[in-house]
């Protein structure tokens, strides 16, 4: 182990990626559009709402030049609904990710950060990819922009616990060829669970390796013994 870092993104890196997401702010001062490498930011004209990247919003917030409007899914009512869905209705699977926009829009944007999933207009009934880090950052940077920051914080904690427990129990159903459905799992959750889940799958693969080898040999033998018609080339390609 020469590298001290784990073979995945660290929480800091995930949070950095999250700062590219667009959030809605209410500016308190005028600001001309900035010509940046990643594109230009909209002209800020108080009290008109505008969508700007999170990092710029945090900067303006710190300088008291803007207020952040929390995304719709970060309201206590929607978080409660999602939490109830996670604990009552789907005990196995995660709550689904936000729906993609209709196809005409999808030509330009199909995934975050190009899809505005954390602006004020974001769907209130689904957690986007960067939900955990977005929620934590906003709660820390702009607690006074929330109506009930403590309630939101508590709901976020509960959601995190529930979903991490699901990820952990997911390994019990794993098999050498099986899988866990991870639709709707957020970036930070993946970063947290990757080392463990990868380790479990690797261990299972090692234990099952000799059995797998025996199965392959048996199949190869059967194939040679006259099942030439049903030869399956895909299997051969998988051999390493």
Partner 1 sequence: MSSYYSPSALLTDAQKVPCTFTLTVPGLGYLDATPEADLASGTKVSLPLWLGEMLAISQNLSTSSLVKLDFPPALSERVLNALKADPRTVDLRQQAANFYALGIRMLDLFEHEEMGEVLTETFKTRAASIADQAHNPRGALGEGADFLRGLDESERELFKAAHDSSKAVRTWMAEISKK
Other beta carbons within 10 angstroms of residue 119's beta carbon come to 19
Residue 63 as a binder of partner 1 (CB under 8 A): the answer is no
Q: Which of 84, 203, 221, 236 binds partner 1 (CB under 8 A)?
A: 203
Contact 141, 62 (CB under 8 A): yes
Q: How many residues does the chain have?
A: 240
Query: What beta strand segments (E) does the chain contain?
Result: 22-27, 35-36, 39-40, 50-53, 66-69
With CB under 8 A as the rule, give the number of residues binding partner 1. 35
State which residue, 30 or 211, has the beta carbon closest to partner 1: 211
| Residue with the two structure tokens 């930011």 | 41
Q: Which of 84, 92, 105, 140 binds partner 1 (CB under 8 A)?
A: 140
Q: Which of 26, 59, 120, 200 binds partner 1 (CB under 8 A)?
A: 200
Contact 80, 155 (CB under 8 A): yes
Q: Which of 12, 183, 225, 230 binds partner 1 (CB under 8 A)?
A: 12
Report in angstroms how near the CB of residue 172 gets to partner 1 at its nearest. 5
Residue 185 as a binder of partner 1 (CB under 8 A): the answer is no
- Output the CA torsion sign for 109, 110, 114, 119: positive
Q: Which of 210, 225, 234, 239 binds partner 1 (CB under 8 A)?
A: 210
Residue 91 as a binder of partner 1 (CB under 8 A): the answer is no
Residue 49 as a binder of partner 1 (CB under 8 A): the answer is no
At 216, list the tokens.
């392959």
Residue 171 as a binder of partner 1 (CB under 8 A): the answer is yes
Cα separation, 10 vs 1, in Å, equals 17
Report in angstroms how near the CB of residue 143 gets to partner 1 at its nearest. 10
Residue 10 as a binder of partner 1 (CB under 8 A): the answer is yes
Residue 137 as a binder of partner 1 (CB under 8 A): the answer is yes
Cα separation, 173 vs 73, in Å, equals 31
Other beta carbons within 10 angstroms of residue 196's beta carbon come to 12
Three-state secondary-structure class, residue 69: strand
Three-state secondary-structure class, residue 136: helix
| Residue with the two structure tokens 């929330």 | 146
Residue 179 as a binder of partner 1 (CB under 8 A): the answer is no
Residue 215 as a binder of partner 1 (CB under 8 A): the answer is no
State which residue, 100 or 209, has the beta carbon closest to partner 1: 209
Q: If residue 188 lies in a helix (H) or strand (E), which one and from where to where?
A: helix 187-224
Q: Which of 168, 181, 219, 220 binds partner 1 (CB under 8 A)?
A: 168
Binding footprint of partner 1 on the chain (CB under 8 A): 6, 10-12, 15, 136-137, 140-141, 164, 168-169, 171-172, 174-176, 188, 191-196, 199-200, 203-204, 206-211, 214
């Amino acid at each position: 182990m020469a590298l001290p870092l784990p073979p995945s993104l660290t929480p800091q890196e995930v949070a950095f990626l999250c700062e590219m997401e667009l959030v809605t702010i209410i500016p308190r001062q005028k600001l001309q559009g900035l010509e940046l490498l990643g594109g230009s930011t909209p002209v800020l004209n108080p009290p008109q709402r505008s969508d700007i990247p999170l990092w710029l919003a945090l900067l303006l917030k710190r300088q008291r030049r803007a207020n952040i409007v929390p995304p719709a899914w970060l309201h206590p009512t929607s978080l409660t609904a999602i939490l109830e869905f996670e604990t009552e209705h789907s005990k196995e699977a995660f709550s689904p990710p936000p729906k993609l926009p209709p196809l005409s829009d999808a030509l330009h944007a199909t995934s975050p950060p190009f899809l505005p999933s954390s602006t004020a207009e974001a769907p209130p009934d689904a957690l986007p990819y960067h939900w955990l880090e977005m929620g934590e950052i906003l709660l820390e940077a702009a607690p006074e922009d929330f109506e009930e920051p403590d309630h939101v914080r508590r709901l976020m904690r509960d959601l995190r616990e529930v979903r991490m427990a699901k990820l952990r129990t997911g390994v019990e159903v794993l098999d050498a060829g099986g899988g866990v459905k991870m639709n709707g799992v957020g970036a930070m959750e993946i970063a947290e669970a990757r080392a463990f889940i990868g380790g479990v799958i690797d261990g299972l693969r090692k234990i099952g390796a000799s059995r797998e080898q025996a199965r392959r040999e048996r199949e190869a033998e059967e194939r040679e013994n006259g099942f030439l018609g049903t030869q399956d080339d895909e299997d051969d390609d998988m051999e390493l």
